[in-house]
Copies of this chain bind each other. A is one copy, B any other.
Amino acid sequence: MLRVVAGALFLTLLATPAAARTVSPAAAAREWRVRHEREIVAEFDSLLAIPDLAKTPDGLQRNADAIAAMLRRRGVRTRVVSVPGGASVVIGALDTPGAKRTLGFYAHYDGQPVDPLDWTDPPFTPTLRDRALEDGGKPLALPAAGDTLPTEARIYARGSGDDRAPVMAMMAALDAMKAAGITRRSNLRFLFEGEEESGSPHLEATLTPERASLAADLWLICDGPLHQTRRPLIYFGDRDVAQIDITVYGPRNELHSGHYGNWAPNPALMLARLLVSMKDDHDRVSIAHFYDGIVPLSTLEQRAIADAPAVDTTLMREFAIGGSEGAPARLAELITRPSLNIRGLTSGHTGAQATNAIPSWATAAIDMRLVKGMDPAATVQRVIAHVRAQGFFVTDHEPTLGERRSHAKVAWLAARHLGLGAVRTPMDLAVAQEVARVVDSVRGPAVRLPNMGGSLPLSELERAIGAPTLVVPIANHDDHQHTFDENLRLQNLWDAIALMASLFAM
């Protein structure tokens, strides 16, 4: 603590009016951070150790409480709000006398489900490693006070990249600004929610009563990864997501594949046929009307895609794939189109548990990414109509034995996480361009893309608050978000602290 105070004093001395003109907020924040890596990582570690899964609501509440305490310690006016059945939303406000604008900063504290067996380190035992696991990363102790970590050091934990890193970056930026005497020029609003990975089902209802207190010129959504080249990135929108689980049925019980193989319908094959019917040989979704209503890309948006660095070849090498869907179109363009992805398949048994049996059912978990102009509920109806058109009797419940006896092909479809649709903020919106220039100033020109491939509650925020949104991510692209061994490259956290300080000071 003494050391922190001493550092703050030292920087306060530096931050005379003359020095303030020559040292940018980003540089001052970096200077401060270099001497406080231990404290920053220790505080981040405490946050990451709190389970952040939808299935453990008290873990979510502990996250909200911890973040509220972090804000309050830094003098931010903080409230925790919620609606029945919804997770807590932490709201913070920091007013600035004479502010010329108000900027909002959003992140979420909940993470995707985990299968702990897949993880190298337990998902809620944050583990420092000197580099990525893929590169042979070894465990690392916290640095001594004042010492720095290796450039490629990472911290492994669920929610480290997606999306508790921005929380920590904002907190450290506030510390750095105070210590270095960097002046804020905007009113700041903060918002941390706990249901993003579940599709933010209560966000609009929770925020609507807060509309006045959350009013802003622009809300910055700090989520998602940077560009694969490690260049800064700004997304002007997102894709919406809808999930559908499809289960098809064979015999009531698994049956001996010798005695009944060739006669009892095999649900795994039935499911394979259904899935194949959903995409043509060029990987275009062949569900009728799937692409109806899509808003075409503007000239500015098309140009932005053309200007984005090509990463396809590098990524193919990194991910060890010998081809890409939709080629020759590039990734940057493909994510402006909708997708239909099989998240998982389960039927019978494979591996050591496999028996010579005909499975009783087969399930596919699907997610669809929808672009601006597509209506999520209508899209789900089109999927249901498609399954019916393949000859299935479709239910919205686990089918009864009577239903299974009465139809040769039965499918149970369960749709989830229907959002309000995708957003694309116009790329020429003035306040968005101002923010983009600040991003450029911190670590070089940012790649600008019309939308991210992932999904954020942009529609929900825009509808509840009535302000435009812009996505400003900070995590490394190879952070394993949504899968096991999620991590944050600490250099990304360091850069984000400098970025947040610059944005808070704009």
- Chain B residues with CB below 8 A from A407, complex form: 322
- Chain B residues with CB below 8 A from A135, complex form: none
Q: A324-B265, A453-B262 are in contact. Are A356 and B241 (CB under 8 A)?
A: yes
CA of A447 to CA of B154, assembled, Å: 69
Check B351–A265 contact: CB distance below 8 A: no
Contact with B along A95-123 (1 / 0, CB 8 A): 00000000000000000110100000000
Contact with B along A225-242 (1 / 0, CB 8 A): 100000000000011010
Check B272–A483 contact: CB distance below 8 A: no
CA of A339 to CA of B257, assembled, Å: 9
Q: A259-B452, A273-B276, A404-B320 are in contact. Are A345 and B342 (CB under 8 A)?
A: no
- Chain B residues with CB below 8 A from A239, complex form: 258
Q: Give residues of chain A (294-351) contacting chain B, Cβ–Cβ below 8 Å.
A: 312, 316-326, 331, 334-335, 337-339, 341-351
CA of A324 to CA of B254, assembled, Å: 15
Q: Does A437 contact B (CB under 8 A)?
A: no
Q: Does A72 contact B (CB under 8 A)?
A: no
Check B344–A358 contact: CB distance below 8 A: no
Q: Does A37 contact B (CB under 8 A)?
A: no
Check B326–A350 contact: CB distance below 8 A: no
- Within the complex, what minimum Cβ distance (angstroms) separates A316 from chain B? 7
Interface centre among A249, A312, A319, A325 (most CB of B within 10 A): A319
CA of A279 to CA of B265, assembled, Å: 13
Report the stretch among A58-66, A142-150, A170-178, A363-371 that lies at the interface: A363-371
- Chain B residues with CB below 8 A from A19, complex form: none
Contact with B along A255-273 (1 / 0, CB 8 A): 1111111111110110111
Q: Does A377 contact B (CB under 8 A)?
A: no
Q: Does A204 contact B (CB under 8 A)?
A: no
Copies of this protein, total:
2
Q: Does A141 contact B (CB under 8 A)?
A: no
Q: Does A352 contact B (CB under 8 A)?
A: yes
Q: Does A275 contact B (CB under 8 A)?
A: yes
Q: Does A354 contact B (CB under 8 A)?
A: yes
Q: Does A252 contact B (CB under 8 A)?
A: yes
Check B262–A326 contact: CB distance below 8 A: yes
- Chain B residues with CB below 8 A from A273, complex form: 272, 276
- Within the complex, what minimum Cβ distance (angstroms) separates A272 from chain B? 4
Check B365–A343 contact: CB distance below 8 A: no
CA of A408 to CA of B323, assembled, Å: 5
Check A354–B113 contact: CB distance below 8 A: yes
Check A252–B319 contact: CB distance below 8 A: yes
Q: Does A194 contact B (CB under 8 A)?
A: no
A selection of 17 A-B contacts at a CB cut-off of 8 Å is A113-B349, A115-B353, A225-B259, A241-B356, A253-B480, A254-B480, A255-B483, A257-B367, A259-B453, A260-B453, A261-B367, A268-B342, A268-B364, A273-B276, A322-B406, A344-B347, A348-B365
- Extra A-B contacts (20), CB below 8 Å, given A252-B321, A263-B312: A113-B349, A252-B320, A257-B339, A257-B482, A258-B369, A259-B453, A261-B335, A261-B341, A262-B283, A263-B325, A268-B364, A269-B276, A323-B408, A343-B348, A343-B356, A344-B353, A345-B359, A350-B364, A354-B365, A356-B367
